[in-house]
Amino acid sequence: MNLLLWTTDVGEHLYPILETLKAEGFDGVEVPIGDEGDEKYAALGRKIAELELGCTCVTSIFEDGNPASSDAGVRRKAVDQMKWRIDRASSLGAEVICGPYHSAFAWFSGEPPREDERKYSIEVMREAAEYAGQAGIILTPEALNRFECYLFNTLADIGAYIRAIDHPNCRMIFDTHHAHIEEKDSAQAVRDYADLISHVHISESDRGTPGEGQVHWPEIFAALKEIEYDGWLTIEAFSRNKPEFASGINVWRNFAPSMEHVYQGGLQFIRENLDSR
């Protein structure tokens, strides 16, 4: 379960949520990495380990450290910021860091993507992947829909990018929400990039409870079975629980009557689809 349903903050206030998710039957949690101090992540990592939960992370990067910038100084800051995030993920005991950190989140040049922007980002991410490899962490940069990103919108976009990076610690995340918007056929995209997919976000068309929207779930679960995917299936859903974060990602209403509705309903939905496979 992605903790962004509740907050972007890391601290002891998350401990009761972790305990609840463990009791509900979740195998792991996805922790947001922001800019808080080091010790908060280490302490949270100890709590996650105590509960015998697995861990992945999600993060983004902003204009001051844009990996696709033509400014070499900005790109160097991007490398430093990625290394800092990898260190925090390592202290959490995380296996994967996903997110749209290939470029500055929600920043637009006003033009279609240029090859030099992608080339700059490839160079930054190759260095980050080398560092992640030393920590045993897989980076999975994320293709976002056109309203949140212009550089990488489809699995074809991000697949070409990952192949160009050519590092075993840089792979692909498949996010059902973004694919629902951008792909012609989400299930076929899964098949086309079976060799790269190492993380999956189960995210509904409206960012609410999985199974209550318009994503073509039967076809997607069938495709995941076909490619013998055996990694994390992480519920990513959002709320207005933290207004500053919600407004930053254009979440203007709650998509479910309660948090419980999202994580309980989402878990049941995934289990039913896995059983049907």
CA distance 154 to 205: 16
How far from 180 is each of 99, 203, 206, 207, CA to CA, in Å?
17, 10, 10, 11
How far from 7 is each of 17, 236, 240, 243, CA to CA, in Å?
11, 12, 9, 9
- Sheet of 28-32: strand order equals 28-32, 54-58, 96-99, 138-141
pLDDT at 39 over 90: no
Compute the half-sphere exposure of residue 118: CA atoms within 13 Å on the CB side of its CA: 19
Q: E strand or H helix at 215, and its extent?
A: none
Please write the tens of the pLDDT for every residue from 238-275.
999 999 999 999 999 999 999 999 999 999 999 999 98
> Which of 63-72, 87-96, 240-249 has the lowest average pLDDT?
240-249
Percent with pLDDT over 90 in the chain: 96
pLDDT at 109 over 80: yes
DSSP 7: -
Q: For position 202, what pLDDT does the model report?
A: 98
Instruction: Give the pLDDT mean for 34-51.
Output: 90
- Here the tokens at position 259 are 């948090």
Give me the chain's average pLDDT, please.
96
pLDDT at 38 over 90: no
The pLDDT confidence band at residue 144, using thresholds 50, 70 and 90, is: very high
Does the pTM of the predicted model rise above 0.75?
yes
How far from 54 is each of 31, 141, 197, 211, CA to CA, in Å?
11, 20, 19, 24
Which CATH architecture fits 3-276?
Alpha-Beta Barrel (3.20)
pLDDT at 277 over 60: no
Q: For position 264, what pLDDT does the model report?
A: 98
Cβ atoms of residues 94 and 55 within 8 Å? yes
How far from 111 is each of 66, 115, 133, 248, 253, CA to CA, in Å?
16, 12, 34, 22, 30
Question: Going by C-beta distance under 8 Å and a sequence separation of 6 or more, which residues neighbour residue 92?
Answer: 31, 41, 42, 44, 45, 48, 55, 57
Q: For the chain, which residues make up each domain, given as ranges?
A: 3-276
Cβ atoms of residues 76 and 67 within 8 Å? no
